[in-house]
C-alpha cells in the first residue's frame, strides 16, 4: 500500500495532506457507533473462524456485490467455506474502485500481511495462510483490539439485551473499553418483527410488567438507566422517516393498546415511532444519553432474499428523506436545549446542503453524523465535506464513526476518514481558506476530538 494513497495528486496539496495525516495516523481509534458483536471480547479465547467467516459471509457489502453479478447466495452463505472464499477471490476484481476494495486490501495487507490481490490462482493459498493466522492466539479479537489501538468501541444493543457479554468483559478484568448503546427499535417500532415477543422480553428484563403506555415508558427508562450503569453514553434509533410528532399520553396509550391486541391501524406504527422519537429526546435530556437517528433505509427490499437468508444481506435500499418538516416538532420542543445532543445521519445526500447543514448550523441540540453506509467512502466523504462544512462548520459535526460489524475493517475505515480529512483540509490550506495552524487543530478534532465530544466519551 502506497503511503500517499487517497491523497490529491497535486504535489502541494499532497504534501500538506501528508503532513496533517501524519499527526493523526497513529492516534488511538475512537469508535462511538458500530455493530461489532461484544461476544467476541467476552471470551478471551474467541476466534474469528476461517477467512470466509471473517471476510465474506457476515459482510453484506461483499455478499451484495457478488450476488449482483449472479453468484448464488446459497453457495456463498451456506456452502463450503473454501468454495465461498474461492468465489470471493475469483471475483475480487468487482471491488475495483469501491470502498470495500480499499478496506479489504488494507485488512489483508496490514492485518494479515497479504500484499497480493486475491484471484482464482491464489485463492487456496490465501485461504490456508489466512486460516493459519486466524487460529493463532495473536489473532484473537482481544489481541487485535489491542493491536488496532482502539481506545473505545461502542456496540449497538437491543433495549431488551441483558448485556451479558458486556458484563463478562467487565468482570474478566480485560482492559479493553467496550461500551453498549441503547437501541430500542424492536420495542418502539410497533411493526418491528416479533414486536410482541420483544415487549414480553422487555417486561422480563426490566422487571416492570409492560401492559400499557405508562409501564412501557417506565420500562424503557429502567433499561436506559441500566445501559447507562453499564457505560452507555448513547442511544440509537432507526426509522423509515425522521418524522416526529407529539401524542398525548392518552393517544399514545390507545395506539399502544391496539398493538398489544394485534389490532393496529395502518398508520399506528408510523405515528408511534414519530412520537417515541420525541419521547426519547425527552429522556435524553433527563439522563444525558446522546441520541442518534439513522432514518431512510427501506429494509429487506428483496423479499425473496429476506425470506431465505434473513436480515442484513445487502438488500436494504435508501429512500429519499425529508428532515426540515419532519424534525420540526422535535426541534421546536427540544432543539434549543443544550442538554440534548441529537446526532443525525442520512442515506440521502441531497439533504446535506439543503437541510442537515442548515439545521445543524442553527439548533444547539443538533450535530451531524459522518457519511453513513454507502456514503462511508472516499467520494462520500468528499461530498460530505464540500456540502456540509461551509454551512454547518466542522464543530456541528460528530467526527467519524465506522458503523461496522466487520471488526477487522475498523482500522481501514478510520484510516480512510483520516486521509480524507487531511486531504480536504489540505485543499483548504492550499487555497488559503484556512491556515496551517487552524488545519493542525482541525485534523485533531476530525480524527478524534469531535467524536469524543459529541458522544461524551
Restricted to residues 69-128, the positions that interact with its own copies (CB under 8 A) are 69-70, 93-99, 101-102
**C-alpha to C-alpha distance for 38 and 53, rounded to whole angstroms:** 17
User: Does residue 418 interact with its own copies by CB under 8 A?
Assistant: no
- Show the cell assigned to 196: 410482541
Q: Collapsing DSSP states into helix, strand and coil, what is residue 350?
A: coil
Closest CA to 418 of 12, 9, 97, 19: 19
Task: Give helix then strand counts, H and E, for the chain.
Answer: 24, 11
Binding of its own copies at residue 242 (CB under 8 A)?
no
In sequence order, the β-bridge partners of residue 405 are none
268-287 helix and 213-229 helix, angle to the nearest 10 degrees:
40
Q: How far is the CB of 259 from its own copies (least distance, A)?
A: 25
In degrees, rounded to 5, the angle at the alpha carbon of residue 311 between the alpha carbons of residues 79 and 232 is 120
Per DSSP, 117 falls in state: -
Least Cα distance to 455 among 75, 116, 154 occurs for 154
Residue with cell 492516534: 27
For its own copies, the closer CB: 106 or 224: 106
Looking at the Cβ atoms of 121 and 332, the one nearer to its own copies is 332
Per-residue x/- marks for its own copies, 49-68, CB under 8 A? ---------------xx-xx
Binders of its own copies among 274-303, rule CB under 8 A?
A: 298, 301-303
Nearer residue to its own copies within complex by CB, 62 or 269? 62
Should residue 270 be labelled a site residue for its own copies when binding is judged by CB under 8 A?
A: no
Piece of 42-50, 171-179, 181-189, 362-370 that binds its own copies (CB under 8 A): 362-370
Query: Which of 62, 210 has the CB closer to its own copies?
Result: 62
422, 51 Cβ separation under 8 angstroms: no
Of 29-37, 187-195, 239-247, 356-364, which segment contacts its own copies by CB under 8 A? 356-364
Q: Which residues between 11 and 50 bind its own copies (CB under 8 A)?
A: 12-13
Which triple of cell numbers denotes residue 75?
A: 453457495
Q: Specify the residue for cell string 485533531.
A: 444
Q: Which of 363, 384, 400, 407 binds its own copies (CB under 8 A)?
A: 363
Decide if 64 contacts 315 (C-beta within 8 A). yes
Nearer to its own copies, 188 or 343 (CB): 343
Binding to its own copies (CB under 8 A) within 366-395 occurs at: 366, 374-375, 377-380, 383, 386-387, 389-395
Check residue 194 for interaction with its own copies (CB under 8 A).
no
The dihedrals phi and psi of 42, each to the nearest 5 degrees, come to -75, -35
State the first-to-last Cα distance of the chain, in angstroms, to the nearest integer. 32
Stretch 305-334 residues interacting with its own copies (CB under 8 A): 305, 314-315, 317-320, 322, 324-325, 328, 331-332
CB-nearer residue toward its own copies: 182 or 385: 385
Give the interface segment with its own copies, choosing from 195-203, 286-294, 361-369, 407-415 (CB under 8 A). Answer: 361-369
For 290, the 3-state DSSP assignment is: strand
Q: Which is nearer to its own copies, 348 or 403 (CB)?
A: 348
What does DSSP say about strands 366-368 and 342-344: parallel, antiparallel, or unpaired? parallel
Out of 23, 271, 353, 444, which residue is the one contacting its own copies (CB under 8 A)? 353
Work out how close the CB of 412 gets to its own copies at its nearest, in angstroms, rounded to a whole number.
Answer: 13
CB-nearer residue toward its own copies: 184 or 427: 427
399 touches its own copies by CB under 8 A: no
Strands 317-318 and 342-344: unpaired
Torsion angle, alpha carbons of 259, 212, 272, 194, to 10: -50
The residues near 232 (Cβ < 8 Å, ≥ 6 apart) are 154, 179, 180, 181, 182, 224, 289
- Is 433 an interacting residue with respect to its own copies (CB under 8 A)? yes
User: Nearer to its own copies by C-beta: 141 or 242?
Assistant: 242
By the rule CB under 8 A, 186 interacts with its own copies: no
Amino acid at each position: 500500500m502506497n503511503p500517499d494513497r487517497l491523497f490529491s495528486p497535486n504535489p502541494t496539496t499532497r504534501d500538506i495532506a501528508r503532513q496533517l495525516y501524519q499527526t493523526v495516523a497513529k492516534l488511538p481509534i475512537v469508535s462511538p457507533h458500530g455493530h461489532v458483536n461484544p461476544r467476541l471480547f467476552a471470551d478471551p479465547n474467541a476466534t474469528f473462524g476461517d477467512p470466509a467467516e471473517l471476510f465474506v459471509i457476515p459482510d453484506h457489502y461483499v455478499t451484495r456485490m457478488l450476488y449482483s453479478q449472479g453468484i448464488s447466495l446459497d453457495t456463498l452463505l451456506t456452502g463450503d467455506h473454501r468454495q465461498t472464499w474461492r468465489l470471493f477471490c475469483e471475483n475480487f476484481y468487482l471491488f475495483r474502485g469501491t470502498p470495500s476494495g480499499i478496506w479489504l486490501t488494507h485488512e489483508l495487507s496490514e492485518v494479515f500481511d497479504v500484499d497480493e490481490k486475491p484471484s482464482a490462482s491464489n485463492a487456496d493459498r490465501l485461504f490456508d495462510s489466512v486460516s493459519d493466522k486466524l487460529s493463532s492466539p495473536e489473532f484473537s479479537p482481544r489481541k487485535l483490539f489491542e493491536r488496532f489501538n482502539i481506545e473505545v468501541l461502542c456496540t449497538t444493543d437491543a433495549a431488551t439485551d441483558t448485556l451479558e457479554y458486556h458484563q463478562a468483559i467487565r468482570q474478566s478484568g480485560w482492559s479493553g473499553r467496550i461500551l453498549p448503546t441503547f437501541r430500542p427499535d424492536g420495542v418502539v417500532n410497533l411493526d418491528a418483527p416479533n414486536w410482541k415477543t420483544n415487549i414480553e422480553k422487555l417486561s422480563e428484563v426490566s422487571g416492570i410488567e409492560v401492559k400499557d403506555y405508562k409501564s412501557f415508558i417506565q420500562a424503557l427508562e429502567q433499561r436506559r438507566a441500566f445501559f447507562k450503569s453499564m457505560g452507555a453514553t448513547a442511544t440509537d434509533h432507526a426509522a423509515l422517516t425522521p418524522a416526529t410528532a407529539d401524542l398525548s399520553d392518552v393517544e399514545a396509550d390507545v395506539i399502544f393498546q391496539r398493538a398489544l391486541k394485534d389490532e393496529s391501524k395502518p398508520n399506528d406504527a408510523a405515528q408511534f415511532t414519530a412520537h417515541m422519537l420525541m419521547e426519547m429526546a425527552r429522556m435524553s435530556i433527563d439522563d444525558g444519553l446522546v441520541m442518534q437517528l439513522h432514518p431512510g433505509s427501506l429494509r429487506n427490499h428483496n423479499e425473496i432474499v429476506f425470506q431465505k437468508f434473513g436480515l442484513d444481506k445487502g438488500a436494504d435500499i435508501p429512500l429519499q428523506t425529508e428532515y426540515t418538516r419532519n424534525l420540526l416538532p422535535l426541534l421546536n420542543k427540544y432543539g434549543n436545549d443544550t442538554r440534548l445532543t441529537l446526532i443525525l445521519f442520512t442515506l440521502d445526500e441531497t439533504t446535506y446542503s439543503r437541510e442537515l447543514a442548515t439545521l445543524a448550523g442553527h439548533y444547539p441540540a443538533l450535530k451531524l453524523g459522518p457519511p453513513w453506509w454507502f456514503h462511508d467512502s472516499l467520494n462520500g466523504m468528499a461530498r460530505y465535506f464540500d456540502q456540509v462544512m461551509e454551512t454547518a462548520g466542522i464543530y456541528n459535526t460528530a467526527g467519524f464513526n465506522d458503523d461496522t460489524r466487520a471488526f477487522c475493517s475498523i482500522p481501514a475505515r478510520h484510516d480512510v476518514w483520516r486521509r480524507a480529512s487531511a486531504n480536504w483540509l489540505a485543499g483548504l490550506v492550499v487555497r488559503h481558506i484556512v491556515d496551517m495552524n487552524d488545519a493542525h487543530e482541525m485534523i485533531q478534532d476530525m480524527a478524534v476530538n469531535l467524536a469524543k465530544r459529541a458522544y461524551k466519551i
